[in-house]
Structure 1
Amino acid sequence: MSHHHHDDAGRWKHDGIRVVRGDQLDPAAAQTPGMFRQVAIDHARVGAQKLWAGTVAIAPDAKTGVHHHGALESIIFVIRGRARMRWGERLEYVAEAGPGDFIFVPPYVPHQEINADPDGTLECVLVRSDNEAVVVNITDVDPVEAPEAVYWVDPIHRHPAG
């Protein structure tokens, strides 16, 4: 076995496949009522260059303010509960997703995530196409339908009033 292959083997042992166990997720530094986010994969934890992944649990009836993620693409996989997505310039479009469903959020699309279940927690896996959290809050939306009353706010998603 050549020295080169030995170097690769040693490097890959530490820089190769990483398994992050479900009980080893990292709670976000700041948590707020209505939402619990945990990081599984990011640059700090595993050296990811182009992806971010984690889980989010959203309390019954909670929702985000209207926002978009710039050039980032996002994928949301629903594990448990009912997700309602509103999107568009006036949140004029709506779709719902349940367990086993995937939601794709393209770049620059104004949207709002809502837990559509008044009684149960919405549990999702979230994957983003970049390690940098990009969130552009949109405060001047005149929604087609009056939004739900509870806001999901965290360091990424701020309350629309503030």
Structure 2
Amino acid sequence: MHDSGDDHTHPHAHDEAHEPGAPERWKHDGVRVIPGDRLDANTAQTPGMFRQAAVNAARVGAQKIWAGTVAIQPDAKTGVHHHGELESVIYVVSGRARMRWGDKLEYVAEAGPGDFIFVPPFVPHQEINASTDEPLHCVLVRSDNEAVVVNLPDVEAAETPETVYWVDPIHRHP
């Protein structure tokens, strides 16, 4: 036993939620569970793509993150772009995603079910459904609620979106 003069009963700063009789502060402003069958399809939709929000400012009050699902039809491709300061994470649920990136899209990688894709800020890239006959289903998480897309028309697409453009509210038709 040490004798520091501290009886370990000194007052601590407590959240008001822990104080006796305090309102249930975190009951409605705390953790949220968003059931998979209750995602918000009230987003801009484009033929060939079905996008749903799970976490955003409107649904749960998120200030610094956006998360949702996206289903992309076979052979769809974006134009070349970057997302400014945003960081993005794509989790592949089913299908095959191909990413091309670099100043001339000189790098390529593919991801399948269970794989994560991280897209750092300002990286020029092109997103591609690598399958010509299967849809691509992903979960998308962005580091901000505001969608940012900077199209790069001076960079030639590695795979021309001649069949189907991957178009959604942040990926516009060139």
TM-score of the two chains, using structure 2 as the length reference? 0.84
Q: 1:67 aligns with which of 62, 74, 81?
A: 81
Q: Which residue does 1:138 correspond to in 2?
A: 152
Mapped partners of 2:171, 2:91: distance in 1: 19
Residue 139 of structure 1 and its aligned partner are, at CA, apart by 1.2
Alignment of 1:93 onto 2:107: yes
Q: Which residue does 1:43 correspond to in 2?
A: 57
Q: Which residue does 1:56 correspond to in 2?
A: 70
SS at structure 2 position matched to 1:11: coil
What is the percentage of aligned positions where both structures have the same residue?
Answer: 73
Alignment of 1:152 onto 2:166: yes
The answer as to whether partners of 1:59 and 1:122 remain within 8 angstroms in 2 is yes
Q: In the TM superposition, what whole-angstrom CA distance separates every residue of 1:31-56 from its partner, at most 9, and x where no partner exists?
A: 11222111000111101121110000
The answer as to whether partners of 1:67 and 1:136 remain within 8 angstroms in 2 is yes
In 2 relative to 1, CA 51–118 (structure 1 residues): closer, same or farther, beyond 3 Å?
A: same
Q: 1:17 aligns with which of 26, 31, 35?
A: 31
Gaps of 5+ in 2: 1-13
Residue 142 of structure 1 and its aligned partner are, at CA, apart by 2.4
TM-score of the two chains, using structure 1 as the length reference? 0.90
Residue 28 of structure 1 and its aligned partner are, at CA, apart by 4.6
Structure whose CA Rg is larger: 2
Q: In the TM superposition, what whole-angstrom CA distance separates every residue of 1:78-111 from its partner, at most 9, and x where no partner exists?
A: 0000000011112111100000000000000011
Residue 146 of structure 1 and its aligned partner are, at CA, apart by 4.2
SS at structure 2 position matched to 1:23: helix
Alignment of 1:102 onto 2:124: no
Gaps of 5+ in 1: none
Residue 112 of structure 1 and its aligned partner are, at CA, apart by 1.0
In 2 relative to 1, CA 159–108 (structure 1 residues): closer, same or farther, beyond 3 Å?
A: same
In 2 relative to 1, CA 73–23 (structure 1 residues): closer, same or farther, beyond 3 Å?
A: same
AA matched with 2:167? V
